[in-house]
């Protein structure tokens, strides 16, 4: 039998907020050695009764976010009757805000995670960036809003994810002298491509640190200056053939490069 502490998370929405708060508290005690069981979309007393019964049998802790004051009161009362520890995450905050703002809350579950069109576009863009990361499927090039190309360690992946949060579908393609770029790269509108250039000295430093982090010799070919110059020269040939814009990322943070790209796209 699993002897890890069990926490039931009850919510009238998906339970993400409650779980995050519970996990933040738990991190101060047992470094993740616990189990969390969500009970989402709680909208009646029967669901509460069932969850409390399970919590009694498992000797579990309860955390909950319920905006309906009647259900909140019922859960608190029944937990006290059953001698269960129940943490009301939302109730005290709503009550305090109501007193300060002199307004009644909307009492609508899930408003913080309202699934509107913007939300779905962002999720779709993130999934796209993961699927077409590192040139793993060249078919994504034709479907992308933006294609990033560059040699290894030019922040193509984190930049793709950052731009995905801005609802852009981004594919990225590594440029390696021994591997011909996918033909799709030369068939798309060059305005959709951005080359990420980096100077040789900066790339050498980054790659050496990467090798050290992996426990490898920093004199490997990957960080060899002659090899790096070869890769950069090949990258320059590729971007010239495509005819795309190039950004020097040698001394730019991901956020700064992303902002530059957004301005270029506008």
Domain boundary assignment for the chain: 6-113, 117-265
> What fold characterizes domain 117-265?
Rossmann fold (3.40.50)
Residue 46 annotated as binding site: no
Residues paired with 196 in a beta bridge: 150, 247
Quick check: do 6-113 and 117-265 share a fold?
A: yes
Are 67 and 75 in contact, with CB atoms under 8 Å apart?
Answer: no
pLDDT tens sequence for the chain (266 residues): 456 789 999 998 888 888 888 888 888 886 667 889 999 899 999 999 999 999 999 999 999 999 888 999 999 999 999 999 999 998 888 888 889 988 887 766 655 555 567 778 888 999 999 999 999 999 999 999 999 999 999 999 999 999 999 999 999 999 999 999 999 999 999 999 999 999 999 999 999 999 999 999 888 899 999 999 999 999 999 999 999 999 999 999 999 999 999 999 87
Buried/exposed 74-97: b ≥16 CB within 10 Å, e otherwise: bbeebbeeeebebbbbbbeebeee
Token reading at 45: 């007393």
At residue 173, φ and ψ (nearest 5 deg) are -130, 125
Residue 192 annotated as binding site: no
Query: Would you tell me which CATH number, out of the four given (3.40.50, 2.40.50, 3.30.1450, 2.40.128), belongs to the domain 6-113?
Result: 3.40.50
81-138 pLDDT per residue, tens:
999 999 999 888 888 888 998 888 776 665 555 556 777 888 899 999 999 999 999 9
Residue 155 annotated as binding site: yes
Residue 153 annotated as binding site: yes
Residue 157 annotated as binding site: yes
Are 150 and 174 in contact, with CB atoms under 8 Å apart?
Answer: yes
Residue 47 annotated as binding site: no
Token reading at 82: 């059953």
Residue 11 annotated as binding site: no
Are 110 and 14 in contact, with CB atoms under 8 Å apart?
Answer: yes
Give the CA distances from residue 164 to residues 57, 134, 195, in Å, rounded to whole numbers and listed in that order. 44, 15, 18
């Amino acid at each position: 039998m699993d002897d890890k502490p069990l926490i039931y998370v009850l919510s009238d929405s998906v339970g993400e907020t409650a779980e995050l708060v519970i996990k933040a508290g738990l991190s101060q005690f047992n470094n993740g050695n616990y189990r969390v069981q969500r009970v989402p979309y709680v909208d009646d007393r029967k669901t509460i009764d069932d969850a409390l019964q399970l919590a009694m049998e498992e000797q579990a802790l309860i955390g909950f976010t319920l905006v309906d004051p009647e259900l909140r009161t019922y859960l608190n009362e029944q937990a006290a009757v059953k001698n269960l520890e129940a943490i009301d995450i939302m109730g005290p905050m709503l009550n305090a805000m109501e007193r300060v703002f002199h307004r009644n809350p909307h009492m609508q579950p899930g408003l913080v995670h309202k699934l509107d069109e913007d939300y779905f576009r962002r999720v779709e863009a993130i999934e796209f960036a993961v699927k077409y990361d590192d040139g793993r499927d060249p078919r994504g090039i034709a479907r992308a809003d933006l294609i990033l190309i560059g040699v290894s360690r030019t922040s193509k992946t984190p930049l793709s994810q950052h731009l995905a949060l801005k609802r852009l579908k981004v594919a990225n393609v590594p440029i390696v002298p021994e591997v011909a770029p996918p033909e799709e790269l030369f068939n798309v509108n060059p305005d959709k491509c951005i080359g990420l250039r980096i100077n040789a000295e900066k790339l050498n430093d980054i790659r050496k640190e990467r090798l050290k982090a992996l426990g490898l010799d920093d004199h490997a070919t990957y960080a060899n200056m002659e090899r790096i110059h070869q890769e950069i020269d090949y990258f320059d040939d590729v971007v010239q053939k495509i005819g795309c814009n190039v950004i020097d990322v040698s001394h730019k943070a991901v956020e700064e490069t992303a902002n530059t790209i957004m301005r270029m796209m506008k």
